[in-house]
């Protein structure tokens, strides 16, 4: 008897068959943002979307925007590792209101 396949695995297989697996990884990247960057950064930021391999992040102050600018390469690498592939190549930081 074979082991049952998880719902995640089934969904990923179906989306891949339709060429939509990249969109699933993009959605995962946005959802994983707080976990990947940690609580301190997450409470000052909000991931909005991935478009053309660029992750758009809202930051609550210019000071945090400047600080995160220096961490972009590390955040991209950690996010791609967590999302399971080359999902994000750059991060666009924009100052705005964080709804919480």
Q: What's the Cα-to-Cα distance from 69 to each of 36, 57, 72, 84, 99, rounded to whole Å?
A: 16, 11, 5, 23, 21
Chain segment 25-51, per-residue pLDDT in tens: 888 899 999 999 999 999 999 999 999
Query: In the structure, what pLDDT confidence band is assigned to residue 15 with cuts at 50, 70 and 90?
Result: low
Give 8-15 contacts, CB < 8 A, sequence gap 24+.
none
Chain segment 51-64, per-residue pLDDT in tens: 999 999 999 999 99
- Domains assigned to the chain: 7-95 (3.30.300.180)
Distance CA 54, CA 30 (A): 11
């Amino acid at each position: 008897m074979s082991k049952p396949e998880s719902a995640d695995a089934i969904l990923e297989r179906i989306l891949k068959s339709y060429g939509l697996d990249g969109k699933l990884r993009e959605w995962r990247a946005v959802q994983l943002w707080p976990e990947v960057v940690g609580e301190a950064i997450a409470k000052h930021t909000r991931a909005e979307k991935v478009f053309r391999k660029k992750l758009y992040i809202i930051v609550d102050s210019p000071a945090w925007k400047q600080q995160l600018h220096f961490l972009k390469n590390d955040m991209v690498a950690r996010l791609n590792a967590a999302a399971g592939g080359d999902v994000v190549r750059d991060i666009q930081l924009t100052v705005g209101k964080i709804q919480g």
